[in-house]
């Protein structure tokens, strides 16, 4: 059981930029479930999609793995010892805890938990790549380059699963969906102050794109098929097939 997230529960004199440090690691499972609509369904769905698309003797990448929830879902669903799953994150606090969690499970598929910036990774012989709420934290100008590299590293028939917070195309609609998301957080026990302070901390750190921007990047990279396989409010998950 993870500890309850109360990082923004008391009034802060100044709200600093959000980062994935030890404090966040301690509360992460609680934080992400209470903040991201559909998170558990997406994690389960990633396992199901992996069952369909992972090819034998290939590499699976979980990019920005945090504590490795998607990795664990794939390990449970696929467990093919001819594959390797590589879980990467550039937060040393996340990686340390992720290693501990993953080592607590015994599956025959080898798992490597690596501290790395996902921009520096060489992708090779991949059949299944997960970016579960990670791309949104990269500066916009790095996003296409990463997708291009991923596409090059994927085998034919391999897939990218990309989950992101979205901006809705029209301003009025966007404001209302954001309100509904804040109500979702309130229903999950966050106060108005916590929601406001977290929002300030994520300003310029989590930069959401529209669905069209994501689709355009898939096109530019060369993906032949892509679609939205999950959406709850402004949180969506896409699948793109090479
Ligand atoms: C999950 N996927 O539970 N290189 C590597 N990691 C990065 C980078 C980078 N350049 N930038 C950010 N990260 C997880 C949840 S959380 C989403 C992903 C959230 C990492 C960052 O350290 C953090 O662990 C993760 O991306 C984003 O399925 O907290 O909203």
pLDDT tens digits for range 115-147: 999 999 999 999 999 999 999 999 999 999 999
Ligand 1 atom showing the smallest separation from residue 91 Cα: 22
Q: Is residue 16 part of a domain?
A: no
Assigned domain for 135 exists: yes
Neighbour count for residue 57 (Cβ, 10 Å): 11
Classify residue 196: in a domain, yes or no: no
Q: If you measure from the C-alpha of residue 66 to the centroid of ligand 1, how many angstroms do you get, rounded to a whole number?
A: 5
For residue 95, what is the domain's CATH number?
3.40.50.150
**2 occurs within a structural domain:** no
Q: List the domain range (segments joined by +) for residue 92.
A: 39-167+206-241
Ligand 1 center–CA 191 separation, angstroms: 24
Q: What's the average model confidence in pLDDT over 71-90? A: 97
Q: Report yes or no on 9 lying in a domain.
A: no
By most ligand atoms within 8 Å of CB, the mutation choice from 31, 50, 64, 98 for ligand 1 is 64
Q: What was the pLDDT predicted at 1?
A: 58
H or E stretch covering 217 = helix 211-221
Residue 190, in any domain of the structure: no
Pocket of ligand 1 (CB under 6 A): 20, 32, 64-66, 69-70, 88-91, 94, 117-119, 132-134, 137-138
For residue 134, report the distance from its CA to the centre of ligand 1, in Å.
Answer: 5
Q: Distance between CA atoms of 110 and 81, rounded to whole angstroms?
A: 7
The residue-averaged pLDDT of 208-214 equals 97
Using DSSP bridges, classify how beta strands 235-241 and 154-165 pair: parallel, antiparallel or unpaired. antiparallel
Q: What is the pTM of this model?
A: 0.96
């Amino acid at each position: 059981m993870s500890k309850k997230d109360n990082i923004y529960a008391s009034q802060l004199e100044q709200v600093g930029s959000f980062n994935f440090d030890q404090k966040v690691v301690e509360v992460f499972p609680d934080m992400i479930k209470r903040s991201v609509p559909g998170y558990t369904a997406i994690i389960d769905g990633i396992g199901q999609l992996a069952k369909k698309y992972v090819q034998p003797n290939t590499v699976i990448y979980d990019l920005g793995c945090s504590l490795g929830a998607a990795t664990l879902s794939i390990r449970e669903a696929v467990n093919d010892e001819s594959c390797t799953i590589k879980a990467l994150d550039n937060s040393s606090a996340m990686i340390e805890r992720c290693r501990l969690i993953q080592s607590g499970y015994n599956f025959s598929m080898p798992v490597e938990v690596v501290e790395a910036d996902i921009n520096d990774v060489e992708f090779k012989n991949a059949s299944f790549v997960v970016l579960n709420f990670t791309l949104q934290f990269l500066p916009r100008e790095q996003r296409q380059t990463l997708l291009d590299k991923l596409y090059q590293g994927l085998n034919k028939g391999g897939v990218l699963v990309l989950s992101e917070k979205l901006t809705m195309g029209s301003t009025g609609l966007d404001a209302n969906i954001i309100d509904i998301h804040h109500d979702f957080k309130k229903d999950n026990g966050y106060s108005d102050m916590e929601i406001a302070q977290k929002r300030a901390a994520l300003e310029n750190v989590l930069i959401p794109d529209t669905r069209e921007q994501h689709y355009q990047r898939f096109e530019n990279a060369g993906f032949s098929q892509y679609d939205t396989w999950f959406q709850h409010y402004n949180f969506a998950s896409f699948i793109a097939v090479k």
